[in-house]
């Protein structure tokens, strides 16, 4: 672990983050136990937990902004650290992209068919 993290101070940061994750797990378990309660206190605690959950996994190096040389990467990291994480990397929905590609191809084929039919009817007349 020490070799992966580089400096000794990073081990302490790693342990602190791990303790924070354990605490978050305990809070989640407590929320699970009170999930069916409808009082405002429990709803507020659940909303606070959901809002704090987005900021849990910031695993970038402490000096990441100073170490990065490309400005675009710095901006991405800055946007990733904003509340709500507008600069996150997400997966691509393969099914949706395949469906959109099929729709685009069928529209192109339909246009070609219409052009072919209109060209053949105009030449017959």
Enumerate the domain spans of the chain. 1-88, 89-124
pLDDT at 57: 62
Task: Give 27-64 pLDDT, tens digit per residue.
Answer: 778 878 887 888 888 888 888 877 777 666 666 677 77
Compute the distance between CA of residue 16 and CA of residue 10 in angstroms, rounded to an integer: 10
Distance CA 101, CA 58 (A): 35
Angle between helices 40-53 and 8-33 (to 10 degrees): 150
pTM of the model: 0.38
First-to-last C-alpha distance (Å) of the chain: 81
The model's pLDDT over 74-124, given as tens digits with 9 standing for 90+, comes to 888 777 777 666 665 667 788 888 999 999 999 999 999 999 988 887 766
The answer to whether 14 and 8 are in contact (CB under 8 A) is no
Per the structure block, which two tokens stand in for 93? 């929905």
């Amino acid at each position: 672990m020490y070799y992966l993290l580089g400096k000794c101070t990073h081990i302490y940061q790693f342990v602190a983050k791990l303790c924070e994750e354990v605490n978050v797990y305990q809070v989640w378990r407590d929320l699970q136990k009170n999930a069916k309660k409808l009082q405002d206190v429990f709803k507020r605690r659940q909303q606070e937990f959901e809002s704090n959950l987005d900021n849990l996994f910031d695993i970038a190096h402490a000096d990441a902004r100073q170490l990065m040389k490309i400005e675009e990467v710095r901006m991405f990291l800055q946007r990733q650290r904003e509340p709500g994480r507008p600069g996150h990397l997400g997966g691509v929905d393969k099914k949706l992209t395949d469906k959109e590609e099929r729709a685009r191809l069928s529209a192109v084929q339909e246009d070609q068919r219409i052009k072919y039919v209109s060209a053949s009817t105009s030449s017959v007349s």
